[in-house]
Amino acid sequence: MARTQVLPRESRRPGRGETAAALALADRMPRLILEARRVAASLSNGVHGRRRAGPGESFWQFRPFVTGEAAGRIDWRRSGRDDRLFVREREWETPHAVWLWIDRSASMAYRSDLAGAPKIERAFVIGLALADTLVEGGERVGLLGLKSPTAARGIAETLAETYSTHAGGEDEDLPPAQPVGRFDEVIVVGDLLASVPDITARVEAISSRGARGHLLMIVDPVEETFPFGGQAVLEDLEAGLSLRIGDAVSWGRSYRDRIAAHRGAIEDLVRRRGWTLTIHHTDRLASEAALRVLTLVSAARFGTADH
């Protein structure tokens, strides 16, 4: 039977000590940034950001002239060096952004013996790695509700400092209901253990102007399998509630059914809204989830006419 490990209790109310420990990010941030850099370095293919043909001002590349195009698009100087006509393409200079949000609520402090890290640490490693890779690809990244998008180098350190100095989001297990631009992308990283109606309301508010988003669900393997037996005490780290159960095996069957139904409802939500869902287990490599989300963001940005 798997044992569980939660960060040390520091108050009488269940969950309050875990909350304080989960939010003491400053001491851990340097290590998490280094790990995020390693993950970002492994994403060798990455995305190409804004580097595509479009109505911008910066030169991108020459390409052969296609019959039917306006003659005014021909670059005669370049064409004069060859026996073909060439068009001077400009780089797409879109002002749109990628918005990131990372769950810092008490439930994110959970870690079982099967996990490689607490959920909150894994969330920050993946989130910062994505930000670093996206900025390297030419995107602007911001923190939903905290920081405007920027393409400055050192984005991982900038975002880490913002989170470390902005307490107050520790009791929020969902992002703010802040609409973003139609062509923006949103990445929500958390355990998504809130009620489905609450998740639905936030997703609909964020995407009310047409933005697309990506949910990254961080899951400890024990939370999914519930491999317990005999008597057990379950604690809600955020509400401070406790539940004593006498037959964990029987209770676990109902628990797994509810988890499956919860996840199915979220999958239905993202399908309806045109979002994506990635499930990351903390006994797996962080780079696996980061690469999948990066690929989905890239596909959303450049895979359709609207994006």
Q: Where are the domains of the chain?
A: 4-50+94-302, 59-90
Answer whether CATH 3.40.50 is correct for domain 4-50+94-302: yes
Strand, helix or coil at 21? helix
Q: Would you say 74 and 62 are in contact if contact means Cβ atoms under 8 Å apart?
A: no
Beta strands in 120-220 (DSSP E): 141-143, 147-150, 185-190, 212-219
**pLDDT at residue 274 above 70?**
yes
Mean pLDDT of 237-253: 72
Among 106, 112, 104, which residue's Cα sits nearest to residue 241?
A: 106
**Nearest-angstrom CA–CA distance, 292 and 167:** 30
**pLDDT at residue 265 above 60?**
yes
Say how many C-beta atoms besides its own lie within 10 A of residue 45's C-beta: 10
Largest CA distance in the chain: 85
Mean pLDDT of 37-45: 84
| Tokens (6 digits) for 224 | 């999914």
pLDDT band at 4 (very low <50, low <70, confident <90, very high): very low
Say how many C-beta atoms besides its own lie within 10 A of residue 24's C-beta: 11
